A = this chain, B = another copy of it.
C-alpha cells in the first residue's frame, strides 16, 4: 500500500523533526474554549474552570493492532483517535483535547504521514477535539501511534466502572461482533491476494462489518443522549476488549454478579450471515471479538422507562449479588460461567 505511492515521495529528513510537526499539524484548528494554548510550546495550556477532567491513553502498534496491507493510513489515523475518545465517553465526559505521538520508520515518506494526519484531523473535527501536542520520532521498524485524550465533565456526572448494584439493568449500545468479523474478512482477502494478486475481491456483502473494523465510530452521541434522557448510568465501560472481558471488569470493580442473556445480544444481520459463512458461533464472536467501540452500562431499574424502546440501547442482562457469579444464560436456558477470553494484545 505504501509502496504504491512512490510517485512523489518526500523523505522525512527533508523536513526535520520540527518541520515535520509544523507541516503535519498546520491545518489543525482550536475549537474548544478550554484550550488556552495548543501545539508550539513545551506544553499545551488548558483551562477547565470548575469542571473535572478525564485522561486516557492508548498505543497502536503496526503488526500488533493494525496491518497496513489492508488498513489505509487515513483510516488508521481516524481509528487511533476513536479508540481513545471511546474511553473518554465511557466516563460520561465530553472529549476536548488529544495529543498524538508517532514513531515511524524511514520507509514512510512524508506523503504517507500526511494521509495519517488527515485521518486524525477528520476525527478531531468531527468529534470536536483539539490536537494540542505530540511528538514525532523515528522508529527502527514500523509505525507506532500513541494518543492521549482529555475530556471534561462536571464532577457530579462522572460514571465509574464501580457503581453497578444488584438488580440494575445491563445495557449495551449499538450492535457487536462486527469489527472482529470485518477483520476476518480482510485477513481472508489478504490470503487470497497473496496467492493471486489479480483477484478483485467483491466485498459488497461485508461493507458494514469492514467499516466497523476500519473506520469505527465512538459513541459521543450516547453521552449526549443520556443527558437529554436524564439518565445517569450507575456504571459504564467501553467494550473495546470484548463483551465478556468488559463485563468481568465491571462486575469485579462493582463487586456484583450478573446474568447476561444470550438471546438479547444485539447482532447486525451481516454479522449473523458472515458467522454462518465462516461457520463460527455468533455469540462467541460477540463475547470475545472486541474492537466494537460501543458502551456497556448499568442503570437503576427506575430509569428503565426513560430508555425503553430507544433503538440505541439493548438491555442484555441483570446485575446480581457478587456471590451469584457472572453467567451467560443461553438460548437453551443453560447457565454458563463467563470467563475472560477478550482480545489480548500481549498474546498475539
Q: Let me know if A61 and B161 touch, CB within 8 A.
A: no
Contact among B16, B55, B57, B151 for A344, CB-based, below 8 A: B16
- Size category of the A interface is 35 or more
Q: Verify if A45 is at the interface (C-beta below 8 Å from B).
A: yes
CB interface residues, A 31-78, toward B, < 8 Å: 36-37, 40-50, 52-59, 61-65
Q: Let me know if A103 and B59 touch, CB within 8 A.
A: yes
CB interface residues, A 109-140, toward B, < 8 Å: 132-140
Q: 27 A–B contact pairs at CB < 8 A?
A: A13-B344, A13-B347, A41-B160, A42-B91, A42-B237, A45-B54, A46-B55, A47-B52, A47-B53, A49-B50, A53-B53, A55-B133, A55-B150, A56-B99, A58-B135, A59-B103, A59-B137, A61-B103, A61-B137, A61-B139, A64-B139, A64-B140, A65-B137, A101-B146, A137-B346, A144-B144, A146-B146
Q: List the number of copies, as a whole number.
A: 2
Please give the residue numbers on chain A whose beta carbons come within 8 Å of chain B beta carbons, in ascending order.
12-13, 16-18, 20, 36-37, 40-50, 52-59, 61-65, 86-88, 90-91, 93, 97, 99, 101-103, 132-142, 144, 146, 148-151, 155, 158, 160-162, 236-238, 249, 253, 344-348
Query: Which residues of chain B have C-beta atoms less than 8 A from A144's C-beta?
Result: 59, 103, 139, 144
Contact among B44, B62, B63, B146 for A55, CB-based, below 8 A: B44
In the docked arrangement, what's the CA distance between A55 and B46, Å? Answer: 8
Query: Which residues of chain B have C-beta atoms less than 8 A from A138's C-beta?
Result: 61, 64, 345-346, 348
Query: Which residues of chain B have C-beta atoms less than 8 A from A64's C-beta?
Result: 103, 137-140
Chain B nearest CB from A338 CB (Å) reads 15
In the docked arrangement, what's the CA distance between A251 and B72, Å? Answer: 40
Chain B nearest CB from A33 CB (Å) reads 12
Known: A37-B160, A101-B146. A54 touches B59 (CB 8 A): no
Chain B nearest CB from A10 CB (Å) reads 12
Q: Let me know if A57 and B99 touch, CB within 8 A.
A: yes
Query: Which residues of chain B have C-beta atoms less than 8 A from A132's C-beta?
Result: 55
Q: Let me know if A140 and B141 touch, CB within 8 A.
A: yes
Known: A55-B97, A63-B140, A160-B37. A43 touches B151 (CB 8 A): yes
In the docked arrangement, what's the CA distance between A237 and B18, Å? Answer: 15
Q: Let me know if B59 and A146 touch, CB within 8 A.
A: yes
Known: A59-B103, A103-B144, A144-B103. A344 touches B43 (CB 8 A): no
Residue of B nearest to A49 (CB): B50
Known: A43-B91, A45-B158, A137-B345. A148 touches B52 (CB 8 A): no
Query: Which residues of chain B have C-beta atoms less than 8 A from A158's C-beta?
Result: 36, 45
In the docked arrangement, what's the CA distance between A51 and B336, Å? Answer: 50
Chain B nearest CB from A220 CB (Å) reads 14
Most chain B C-beta atoms within 10 Å of own C-beta, residue among A20, A91, A137, A249: A137
Residue of B nearest to A140 (CB): B63
Residue of B nearest to A36 (CB): B52
Closest 4 CB pairs of A and B: A43-B56, A146-B146, A42-B90, A43-B54
Chain B nearest CB from A30 CB (Å) reads 14
